[in-house]
Structure 1
Amino acid sequence: MKLHNHAKANQKTVYCISPYKTGTTYLSSCFSSNIAKHEPIHYTTYKSLDEDFDTYFTKRLNYLNLKLECSGSWSAYVEELVNHKIAKDLDYICVLRSPSSWVTSVINYWNKPNMLKFHFDIPLEHFWKQKVGVNLRDFEIGVHSKKNQEIIDKLVKFYFDFTEKTALLENITYIRLKDLKESLPLVESLIEENATTKDSWKRANLKKKFIYKNDMIDEKYKRLTKRLINSRNPKMAS
């Protein structure tokens, strides 16, 4: 897909950059599709950002001309965003979810029967395999194995690394997943648009075949995010 620049970059775009399974679908669906999108031009974005991040980011920004974009793929490009001449000054949202809950959701979602039917899954191929270093389809639900533990360890490492890197962004707002709906007024103020929650939806998976729980890692993440929040919004950290 060839993108054509508008005359002026839309520097009001706000990006929700937290990884897949952190409420990005829900958040984007709370606003009109004319101004907010979830994973737009998905395949082209991965291919082109990896080829020439600096040039393509600006072209993509101008072409989409959005108020809000919620794409888990951005979690793999935090350092590039920090160093880009336009991206470094934009506003960002990071939705926080406990590692145990996140790992549980990721593994269950990508092992749902309907997901396994995809011959070519864009996030699986370009994000999970290439950016995180895991093939989620290799996870065997119901067994304890070295391979399963390796996948979990890589997921947790990526999640912590990403979260720590968000501190490099000058303008970032942290929102806890459990508070996402109540925090919509904050998002409204960032993008200067009103939410339309009657059409909102989320990818819920009520039939979880796998549950991951690690209290030590969750507590470590809680301390990390409290420090990050306190550095930006002390009132929210408590």
Structure 2
Amino acid sequence: MKPARRANTPREWALAIGGGLALSASLVWVLRSDEPMPTPTLAAVPTPAPTPPPAPVAAAPVDLKLAGLRAGPDGGMAIVAAGGRQYLLRPGRVMPGGIKLLRVEPGRAILAGPAGEMVLAFADSAPASAPSRAGPPTLPGGDPTPWQLALSPVKQGGRIAGWRLDTLASLPALARAGLRPGDVLVSANGSELISEEKIMELPQELATNGRLQIGYRRGNQLREAVVSR
């Protein structure tokens, strides 16, 4: 007859469980001790976008010459020649190179540019000791300067709708055609005169074709006239 087994006491159960847990922890440490330490990862630092280079600044023309000048209650205007081209400037308008017309004075134009203010005057107003300068280049077929100086833009709704004839002193061809100061030119050879470039083309068309079919407004009436060389 086998002797009856003795039941384990609570203290023995506690020692057995504690020993088992300690052994499990030791095995885990031994197994993990051979593993390499994980390498920490560094967050990528964003690279700032490169700053774009500044846009090149157009160089101011150095061959500025005064080709025309007109004073008036509207502030007047000046025709400036530079680089073989002519620019019609009114106060506040800017030409290539950042040159701006500030104001018109008797016999001269005051401009502002990157180097500061400058004064342009006609060549014949320079002192006698100063060397004479060649006149501004003229466009083939005629000089547009008399046309630009004799006409002022008439605007409607902020856009050019025609050109008022202020004087006929420099345009005898218009006087022979019957036009008068105060008439508003609205077309030439069927094309509307809605820009300064159109006015600059008129002497070329007159020289090429020998005539211009001018549409103009006198008071409330629309009329036409043939301008010949």
Q: Note whether the superposition's TM-score is higher than 0.5.
A: no
Question: Greater CA radius of gyration, 1 or 2?
Answer: 2
More RCO (CA 8 Å, sep 6+):
1
| TM superposition score normalised by structure 1 | 0.28
Higher helix share: 1
| TM superposition score normalised by structure 2 | 0.28
